[in-house]
Structure 1
Amino acid sequence: MPGRPSRRSVLAASLAIPLGTALGACTSTTAPKTAPGGPVSIVFWSALRGSQQVVDAFNKSQNRIRVAFQQIPSGDFGGYAKLSNAARAGNSPDVATIEYPQVPGYAIDGVARDITDLVSDSVRAKLLPQALDLATFAGRVYTVPLDIEPMVLHYRTDLFDKFGFAVPRTWDGYAEVSRKVREKLFSGDSPFAVLVLDLTPAGVRVCGIYSVTNPDKLTRIPR
């Protein structure tokens, strides 16, 4: 998808799965729909439940911007394909929510608008530098970071104490402990840890569970 100058405004939205950004703007070729003397109209796509209520409240709070919301599937269930296809056809929304891993691809494909010049110092001061880094590609800002969801690893402290394992604090340390755990406690593909993907506040949706016994691979656990 070739990059083209964007026509659209930027609107901050709420995103919660699992690492969120608001896509700065999607490429298109026409001017925003604005009636003479009327509000600016913005089209917003998101897979987040509750977005319609947020949009309704925003529209009622002021009369300068009118947001039209469309619910789309989550990214892995067709949302990203829908957004990319719309951008390719020139019918993309003004704003959409995506996850951080999609930022580089959308920037390269020209789906996302470079909004670096719109992110003022006052805006940057309100953002965690680490979050802004996730919204940046090749030194340019393409998205507005909205949240970061922390992830934790639960482990058996009694077994760590029993076998003298040090709690890993780096990925290298994690790999070393995983080897020791496998040698002392397990054989084959018995799990050191499990990964549950795609947890949403609207309800837990388990997309995959994986066994980590080898730092070089993940073994999917059949369901």
Structure 2
Amino acid sequence: MTTTHRTHRARRLTAPAAALTLLVLAGCGGSSTDDGGSDGGPTGTADDPVEITFWSWLPDIQTTIDLFEETHPEIDVKLENVGVGTDQYTKIQNAVDAGSGGPDVAHMTYDAIPSFALTGALADLAQHGGEDIPDTFLPAVVSLVQQGDAIYGVPQDFGPGVMYYRTDVFDAAGVEVPTTWAEYATAAEAIHAGDPNRYITYLDPGLADAAYMGLWQLDAAPWTLEGESDLTLDLGSEASLRWADYWDGLNHGGLTIESVQGSDEWFRQLGEGQIATWVVGAWGLQALTGVVPQNEGLWRVAPMPVWDDGDTATSQFGGSGTVVLEQSEHKDAATTFALWMNSDPVAVESLKNDQGLLPTTNAAWEDPAFLDEEIAYLGGQQARQVFAESARNSVTTWRWLPFQPYVGSVYKDTVGQAISGKTSLADGFAAWQDRVAEYAQQQGFTVTTD
């Protein structure tokens, strides 16, 4: 079902004058003007605004839209929720195939952007006022929306990799917080030896993101796409097997517990200290505070462990951007909205406070008030200092495939089987690669396997 949410301007003009003044002063920052270019669509005015449609599943995004319209009377934004993730992407693809019927602007996870960019469905925002995106946003996220000189989205949020851990569990085991994966394995042994019902972490047979996160940090390049159709798969590389062999050791040694991330059982395990760490994107804090509030003060955050002493490389888990469809008749206005929503200081505050999203602009991560805020749930820790370190050190060479959703969908039947059966993850990777290669060839890609 399609849900449409419109808020009439007359209603919004009742906001206090002081707030409106603040919005007007901040409204021009980080956005471009719709210059009515030949393929960018007509320019609207306050008396005759251009209307653009925005598809998003974020629950309270209308709050941010209202702020935009206060300062941009020449653009009306119609919000529609047509489904989450794949449901929305299917409707976008149907509109692309039909040549019309899609939104002007859409919320899209980073792993889905390449598939639509490859087929020409997304506008190059550098041609519509977005040429400063590489200078405005963190390099770690720009790399996820940029292909060559083309920019196919505005970064909105992201998940720099960190490690949340239970201080009480580590204290009881008498071990230090690990900084390397070798130390992490040592801590796993001590924690489980001290209490057989406790584990360093969990393995989810269906969570491909865990493998992505590890391979990303190792700069393993499990897939490389040259041009539009030449694909090389290498899930048997030395770096890939280093990840597989490491987790084989913990899994076969009984030092991890199998659990499904996000399930009630999994949250219970976190809440009771049965799972001692969660290596995830920084957004994990929102899940902890929302579902296990009784744990306030017990958790802290540390940098993601590294593979070798002296390493700093991290990776990411999760995140999304805002894209503009090529079929839009108002690409300039759509780009103006997408840029403002994700880079203007007022908008960034709204996304942070109303959506719980982690901002992606350089300016936000250079703001001492933002970085130094003490997070009560984490015992007053200045957690964003840790997030910022991870963001700076995130490997920027990672790329998603044009059919990444399929890659993730067959993880459970290949690597996941190895996790559950406690067999070789290297063999699971080989089976995963075979499935991906077969599918890619069916889609017309020329596939080379190393």
Post-superposition CA distance 1:140-188 (Å, at most 9, x none): 211111111234566776334589xxxx9747443232222244337xx
Match of 1:85?
94
Give the counterpart letter for 1:158 in structure 2.
Answer: A
Match of 1:196?
261
Aligned length: 177
For 1:124 and 1:67, the matched residues in 2 are separated by 25
1:120 lines up with 2:330 in the alignment:
no
Match of 2:82?
72
Q: What secondary structure, in the 3-state scheme, does the structure 1 residue paired with 2:160 have?
A: coil
For 2:153 and 2:137, the matched residues in 1 are separated by 12
Match of 1:13?
none
More strand by share: 1
Which of 168, 181, 185 is residue 254 of structure 2 equivalent to?
185
Match of 2:343?
none
For 1:179 and 1:136, the matched residues in 2 are separated by 35
For 2:186 and 2:258, the matched residues in 1 are separated by 13
Give the counterpart letter for 1:70 in structure 2.
Answer: E
1:96 lines up with 2:106 in the alignment:
yes
Give the counterpart letter for 1:120 in structure 2.
Answer: E
Q: 1:68 to 1:86 in 2, by over 3 A?
A: same
Match of 2:187?
158
TM-score by length of 2: 0.33
Alpha-carbon offset, residue 52 of structure 1: 2.0
Match of 2:243?
174
For 2:254 and 2:69, the matched residues in 1 are separated by 58
TM-score by length of 1: 0.61
Q: 1:184 to 1:32 in 2, by over 3 A?
A: same
Task: Identify the structure with bigger relative contact order (alpha carbons < 8 Å, sequence gap 6+).
Answer: 2
For 2:71 and 2:146, the matched residues in 1 are separated by 31
Q: What secondary structure, in the 3-state scheme, does the structure 2 residue paired with 1:111 have?
A: coil
Structure 2 unmatched runs, 5+: 1-38, 165-183, 193-213, 221-238, 264-282, 292-408, 430-450
